[in-house]
DNA sequence: TAAAAATACTCCATAGGTATTTTAT
DNA sequence: ATAAAATACCTATGGAGTATTTTTA
């Protein structure tokens, strides 16, 4: 069986004539006759009682026409679905971000995306790196925004921006009065507040602290950057914060730059190597880069 | 697009592998790959993100799979419908009969049909000849039982039986005492009760009466053979009745045979020349002939 | 007789096959 | 290194064409 044959059958049903049906289907009458005969032999049953004067559908033929019409409707629906996605920027994009980026990056880009690509429907997810990568590979996400990884995953990456880490300290701390950048060595011997396990920022901060001679403050583990900052504000300690998260003016916190070589992390947009949304994602990456 | 391609697509979706899908579909892997690529270019959109390790359907691909499954279900349904009609004696037969035959013939054949062809579903219609022929040609009826026509219709005929016409007279009529056949000439000068217009038996009886010198009794026109017989029983007159209708023993009526050449009518089973049910109808005709 | 479907054939597009290469983990 | 999909190329089925015949009202 064959979708074209079903079109022929329905055309004959509607026009009550093989020749007219052939015209409508833009094929010759013998072609249409032949295909319908094949359809009948394929099914092992007659669908049409033919004579040169009158076309009469068998009861089976009429039943088949009902099914055929439904099939043709569904086929058209498939074509419609495919048509809709002709614009590469149209359709759904499921974007994941790590929690230490999402709340600070999204306000900068979501309005612009809505403005520039109104056809795009953006679905946002905030998850830690390992979950993001799993969902990306499973196809649940189209792209993820995260800090560049050391491990090689089968994913394509587009660099978005590099953000420095700043020192967040209580404004009452003697260091807070410094207007210029501080050296990493100011961390030496300090206890630093950290995020809970699973956040990549925690790993990055731990690395910095290790090389600077600082230790993790074992008494607390924050579940979010916001919590961490509140703890700093109440004088509970000090911590390392990515640049983007320092833009809010928070009571009681002073952000200090580190002098070169300042610790930093590379933020990337990652996708599956063979993602069908690559064209859209590349444009999205450009928009994000330009927004920082 | 192509039904086979949709099978390929669904197979890949279910088995998560091109090669396994190809096996299930009994084609080679390159064939299946090629067809799916064609399907995609035909639709102008990607359905599957391919890599040598992982198969991932795009959101469009998943939507198409949903539609494709429904289409394949309907295609199977068409095949099922066709399968069901493999037995020529199975399925519906819509049979029409003229009113002067139906009530007398049906009791003789319906039980036998039910016994011999339990797969057959018989639908019965009682209509006058012209309506029977119209409905036959329109396809509403598969076959009709009627008296042989003089006019040539584009229909095929199978003779069923020939039935003589008998004289029905009141038992109180002097003629009723005759045990032997009577000559047609006994009708000479009599008024004969007739069915209303449209019944072919009326036309046949009128013909007989005309050549025998009898006239129609203008005072009554019966709507059915039963009514006609009741009128004869009450002494209202005499009439001509087909053989089959004389089998009931009715109070007050005597049926007399005519001596040769006795008037008669040929009962036939008629169908469209190219009827797809011809094989079944031929068997049905044999059964009817044998039942008389 | 005339209109419409069926038949007979030819052609070529394409579904399908085999052998091989490329790709990605 | 290996498993799986893609590519290259060949074959053959069958969908479509033209010319003609058959059918039937």
Q: Is the CB of B42 under 7 A from strand C?
A: no
Q: Which domain holds residue A24?
A: 3-84
pLDDT at A153: 79
Chain A neighbors of B54, CB-CB under 8 A: 137
Q: Looking at the structure, do residues A68 and A156 belong to the same domain, yes or no?
A: no
pLDDT at A233: 87
Q: Looking at the structure, do residues A222 and A237 belong to the same domain, yes or no?
A: yes
Does the CB of B66 have a partner CB in chain A at under 8 Å? no
Distance between CA atoms of residues B108 and A27, nearest Å:
52
Distance between CA atoms of residues A256 and A243, nearest Å:
10
Q: Report, as an integer, the average pLDDT of A31-37.
A: 86
Q: Looking at the structure, do residues A106 and A57 belong to the same domain, yes or no?
A: no
Q: Which of residues 217-256 of A touch strand D (CB under 7 A)?
A: none
CA-to-CA dists, residue B135 to A50, B26, B125, B139, angstroms: 17, 48, 10, 6
Q: Looking at the structure, do residues A28 and A147 belong to the same domain, yes or no?
A: no
pLDDT at A270: 92
State the Cα angle at A265 between A260 and A271, rounded to 5°: 155
Q: Looking at the structure, do residues A132 and A275 belong to the same domain, yes or no?
A: yes
The DSSP bridge partners found for residue B194 are B221
Chain B neighbors of A59, CB-CB under 8 A: 91-92
Q: Looking at the structure, do residues B141 and B207 belong to the same domain, yes or no?
A: no
pLDDT at A76: 85
Q: Looking at the structure, do residues A173 and A248 belong to the same domain, yes or no?
A: yes
Q: Looking at the structure, do residues B154 and B281 belong to the same domain, yes or no?
A: yes
- How far A10 CA sits from the closest chain B CA (Å)? 14
User: Which of A217-221, A245-249, A262-266 has the highest mean predicted lDDT (pLDDT)?
Assistant: A262-266
Q: Looking at the structure, do residues A274 and A155 belong to the same domain, yes or no?
A: yes
Residue of least CA–C1' distance to D22: A52
pTM of the model: 0.75
Q: Is the CB of A50 under 7 A from strand C?
A: yes
pLDDT at A160: 93
> Helix A59-84 crosses helix B59-84 at what angle (to 10 degrees)?
170
Q: Looking at the structure, do residues A138 and A282 belong to the same domain, yes or no?
A: yes
Q: Looking at the structure, do residues B257 and B165 belong to the same domain, yes or no?
A: yes
More confident residue, B144 or A191: B144
In chain A, the number of structural domains is: 3
Per residue in B79-135, pLDDT (tens digit) is 878 877 677 888 888 999 999 998 999 999 999 998 999 888 899 999 999 899 888
DSSP structure string for A206-267: HHHHHHHT-EEEEEEEESSHHHHHHHHHTTS-BEEEEGGGG-S--TTEEEEPBPSS--EEEE
Chain B neighbors of A79, CB-CB under 8 A: 1, 43
B78: domain CATH number is 1.10.10.10
Per residue in A41-86, pLDDT (tens digit) is 888 888 888 877 788 888 888 888 888 888 888 888 888 788 776 7
B283: domain CATH number is 3.40.190.10
């Amino acid at each position: 069986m064959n979708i074209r044959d079903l079109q022929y059958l329905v055309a004959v049903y509607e026009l009550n004539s093989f020749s007219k049906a052939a015209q409508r289907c833009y094929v010759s009458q013998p072609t249409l006759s032949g295909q319908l005969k094949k359809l009948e032999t394929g099914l092992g049953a007659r669908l049409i009682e033919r004579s040169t004067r009158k076309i009469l559908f068998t009861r089976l033929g009429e039943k088949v026409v009902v099914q055929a019409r439904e099939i043709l409707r569904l086929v058209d629906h498939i074509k419609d679905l495919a048509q809709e996605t002709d614009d590469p920027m149209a359709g759904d994009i499921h974007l994941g971000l790590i929690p230490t980026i999402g709340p600070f990056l999204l306000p900068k880009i979501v309005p612009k995306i809505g403005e520039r690509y109104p056809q795009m429907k953006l679905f946002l997810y905030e998850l830690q790196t390992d979950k993001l990568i799993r969902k990306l590979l499973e196809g649940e996400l189209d792209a993820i925004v995260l800090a560049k990884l050391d491990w090689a995953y089968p994913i394509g990456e587009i660099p978005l921006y590099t953000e420095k880490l700043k020192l967040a300290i209580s404004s009452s701390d003697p260091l807070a009065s410094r207007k210029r950048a501080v050296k990493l060595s100011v961390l030496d011997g300090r206890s630093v507040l950290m995020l809970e396990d699973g956040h990549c920022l925690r790993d990055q901060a731990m690395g910095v602290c290790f090389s600077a001679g600082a230790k993790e403050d074992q008494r607390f583990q924050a579940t979010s950057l916001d919590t961490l900052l509140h703890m700093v504000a109440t004088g509970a300690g000090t911590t390392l914060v990515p640049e983007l998260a320092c833009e809010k003016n928070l009571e009681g916190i002073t952000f200090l730059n580190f002098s070169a070589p300042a610790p930093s992390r590379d933020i990337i947009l990652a996708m599956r190597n063979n993602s069908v949304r690559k064209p859209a994602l590349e444009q999205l990456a450009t928009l994000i880069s330009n927004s920082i």
